[in-house]
């Protein structure tokens, strides 16, 4: 149970982009909590990405602003510089990318960072990498990018699968939200939504995302927490 409740909602957003500033405030407005997965090696870097034929800003939050931007939420690791870990043959480099990022973020955050999200799309992790992280770093849970469309509580915390990827599955996200809200479970259930804040700029989905926040917020039978608060026993 989650503080005496059978249901919990949590969010997870990657890359530490400046759109996180608006997103974190939106979550605060509705009493929601999120975990933000950050590449410490890219803090303060400016740039852009092309997604769906649209050029979107991909500027990173600065190190000096990290605490204020993510106040009330959780900071988690995402590797130093976002390599696809399955393409790295050197075990030591995989460990370094994860652990040095975790330690740098811990110093900046002012608390021990223990969460992690695998970087990159597609097949971005495997059981060998998960075991390397479990045995050689201070990470306590790792989020994958594999949607389950399920609310079941998971036991493998180093290959943790989210419920849904909001950007690629926006309609499905709302469908699952309605299902989750209506549920009266006898066992603990988690609705875990992930994505990237910059994606909300692509089709100007901010209003639609706020609608989702409004829909999920303020329910007496739901615990609203960071990934750490919801996933870890």
d(Cα 144, Cα 118) in Å, to the nearest integer?
6
* Residue ranges of E strands in 196-233: 222-224
pTM for this one? 0.97
End-to-end Cα distance, the chain: 9
pLDDT tens figures, 159-207: 999 999 998 899 999 999 999 999 999 999 999 999 999 999 999 999 9
- Indicate the helix (H) or strand (E) that contains 21: helix 19-29
pLDDT tens figures, 68-102: 999 999 999 999 999 999 999 999 999 999 999 99
d(Cα 160, Cα 167) in Å, to the nearest integer?
19
Taking the domain 7-231, which CATH number applies? Answer: 3.20.20.370
d(Cα 135, Cα 130) in Å, to the nearest integer?
9
Domain ranges of the chain: 7-231
């Amino acid at each position: 149970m989650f503080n005496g409740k059978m249901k919990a909602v949590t969010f997870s957003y990657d890359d530490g982009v400046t759109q996180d500033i608006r997103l974190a405030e939106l979550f605060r407005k509705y009493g929601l909590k999120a975990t933000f997965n950050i590449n410490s090696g890219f803090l303060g870097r400016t740039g852009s990405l092309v997604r769906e034929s649209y050029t979107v800003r991909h500027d990173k939050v600065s190190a000096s602003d990290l605490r204020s931007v993510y106040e009330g939420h959780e900071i988690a690791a995402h590797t130093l510089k976002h390599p696809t870990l399955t393409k790295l043959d050197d075990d030591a480099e995989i460990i370094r990318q994860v652990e040095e990022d975790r330690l740098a973020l811990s110093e900046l955050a002012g608390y021990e960072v223990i969460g992690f999200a695998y970087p990159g799309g597609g097949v971005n992790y495997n059981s060998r990498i998960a075991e390397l992280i479990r045995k050689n770093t201070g990470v306590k849970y790792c989020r994958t990018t594999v949607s389950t469309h399920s609310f079941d509580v998971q036991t493998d915390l180093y290959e943790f699968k989210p419920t849904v990827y909001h950007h690629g599955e926006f309609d499905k996200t709302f469908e699952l939200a309605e299902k989750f809200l209506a549920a009266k479970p006898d066992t603990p259930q988690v609705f875990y939504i992930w994505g990237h804040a910059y994606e909300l700029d692509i089709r100007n989905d901010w209003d639609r995302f706020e609608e989702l926040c409004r829909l999920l917020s303020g329910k007496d039978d739901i615990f609203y927490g960071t990934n750490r608060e919801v996933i870890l026993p």
